[in-house]
Amino acid sequence: MTGRHDRPEPESFSMSNIAYFPKPHIDQRPGKRERTKTANRQAILDAAREVFGELGYDAATVRDIIRRTGLASGTFYNYYKSKEEVFDALADDGARRFRPLLRAESEKATDFESFLRGAILAYFNFVAEEQEAWRLDRPPGEPLPHARSTPEVVAVFDEVHEALARVLEREHAPPVDLDYLATACIAVAREIGEKMLERRPVDTQAAANFAVQLILGGLPALPRL
């Protein structure tokens, strides 16, 4: 249930509609049980996004999130164990939405430069759009903590790793420390991206140019393995 603010769904209406179908049990819509479950999950995630955006991660409490959903406190714990887990779920969600974009870039790329530019630009555009949904006008106090090692986040890291290996292999580039390289690429993208968001107007092209040129120019100079 969605709590006390739950207005009664027109369930009977839906039921009468089902009468038109010979086999009601193959109705694409999942049962109400399943629907309220996903609705509650989403409500908690949305509330958490708002609360983290307004109060910051540290100041936010589980109770703040619960209050905003209108659910009972116990209900929250049917879905997530803690504030950390909700945050991880949000990070996971972001990573899950970004991964296809990254993969598209790595498949579209013809060489290392086009991959790097495509991937970094895609990331910068992604975070620029996310910012408007996340911290609308949050005071520039403390930044949100970095994403932890959730499955989807790790998958993005691995994707970068593999894409780098693939592209460099294809170009017969000399072998370098791929682990360090991937780490450096992600570090540069992450921090330049953050700085980029502080500037007005937000210029993803210029930021991507900077990051790409830095890595691209540094690559030939890296120590060989």
- Kindly tell me which residue out of 6, 9, 34, 58 binds its own copies, with binding defined by CB under 8 A: 58
- Kindly tell me which residue out of 53, 56, 75, 126 binds DNA, with binding defined by CB under 7 A: 75
Residues 1-30 binding its own copies (CB under 8 A) are none
Torsion of the alpha carbons at 214, 215, 217 and 218, rounded to the nearest 10: 110
Residues 6+ apart with CB under 8 A from 109: 115, 118, 119, 163, 167
Nearest CA among 161, 173, 164 for reference residue 224: 173
Nearest CA among 138, 131, 120 for reference residue 60: 138
Q: Does 114 engage in binding with its own copies (CB under 8 A)?
A: no
Using alpha carbons, list the distances in angstroms from residue 127 to 19, 82, 87, 111, 124. Answer: 47, 25, 17, 24, 5
| Secondary structure of residue 213 in the 3-state scheme | helix
d(CA 183, CA 70): 41
d(CA 21, CA 142): 55
Q: Which is nearer to DNA, 74 or 201 (CB)?
A: 74
Q: Which stretch binds DNA (CB under 7 A): 24-32, 125-133, 161-169, 186-194?
A: 24-32
Q: Which is nearer to its own copies, 5 or 146 (CB)?
A: 146
- Kindly tell me which residue out of 11, 132, 137, 198 binds DNA, with binding defined by CB under 7 A: 11
The distance of closest approach from Cβ of residue 87 to DNA in the complex, given in angstroms and rounded to an integer, is 12
In a 10 Å sphere around its CB, with 0-12 CB exposed, 13-18 middle and 19+ buried, how is residue 20 labelled? exposed
The distance of closest approach from Cβ of residue 198 to its own copies in the complex, given in angstroms and rounded to an integer, is 10
Site pattern 45..74 for DNA (x: CB under 7 A): ----------------xxxx------xxxx
Q: Which stretch binds its own copies (CB under 8 A): 20-28, 37-45, 65-73, 142-150?
A: 142-150
The distance of closest approach from Cβ of residue 57 to DNA in the complex, given in angstroms and rounded to an integer, is 12
Q: Does 66 engage in binding with its own copies (CB under 8 A)?
A: no
d(CA 112, CA 169): 10
Phi, psi of 139 (to 5 degrees): -55, 140
Length of the chain: 225
Q: Interface residues with DNA (CB under 7 A)?
A: 1-4, 6, 11, 25, 31-34, 36-37, 40, 61-64, 71-75, 77-79, 81-83
Q: Interface residues with its own copies (CB under 8 A)?
A: 58, 84, 142, 145-146, 148, 177, 179-180, 183-184, 186-188, 190-192, 195, 206-207, 209-211, 213-223
